[in-house]
Amino acid sequence: MLIAMPKTVQGKKVCIMCGKEKEGLNVKEDHVITAMRWVKRNITKNPKNYHMVVCKDDFIAYKKKRDSFERKRAAYVIIGVLFTLLLLAFANGRFLGAIFYGVGITIFMYLLSLLSYMPAVDVPIIQQKRRGPNSILEPR
């Protein structure tokens, strides 16, 4: 079994759960983190340029928070879409306005889900080699 290690990164590695400087799984850079870094760099003029990780000690707590965020995000977007469909059902000929308000509500619901935002991590890829149909997995 081989584990593909992530690329090495310059800068302090800080755990997003405990705030301590530790080694751990790298946090993926997504649109929310990019926006936060842009605000820190351009508006507050206080970029720390930490490399965010999740340490081994806090991974279980992180996983619970990440799963909760993903459930809330899906639920909020579904509620927004259902509300849009209800608006369309009772539009009485004002379909463009119903779509406009429905999309606005769906976006608002998505933004509400970001209140519990927890970024994803880069999980190392594990490559496995099998030696037979019923064999035990062994390291390469």
Per-residue model confidence as pLDDT tens digits over 7-49: 444 578 999 999 899 899 999 988 998 888 888 888 887 777 7
The answer, as to whether pTM is greater than 0.85, is no
Per-residue model confidence as pLDDT tens digits over 62-119: 999 999 999 999 999 999 999 999 998 888 888 888 889 999 999 999 999 999 999 9
Q: Say if CB 55 and CB 21 are below 8 A apart.
A: no
DSSP string for residues in 41-78 = HHTS-----PEEEE-GGGHHHHHHHHHHHHHHHHHHHH
If pLDDT is split at 50, 70 and 90, which confidence band does 133 have? low
Q: Say if CB 61 and CB 17 are below 8 A apart.
A: yes
Residue 126 pairs in a beta bridge with 3
If pLDDT is split at 50, 70 and 90, which confidence band does 5 have? very low
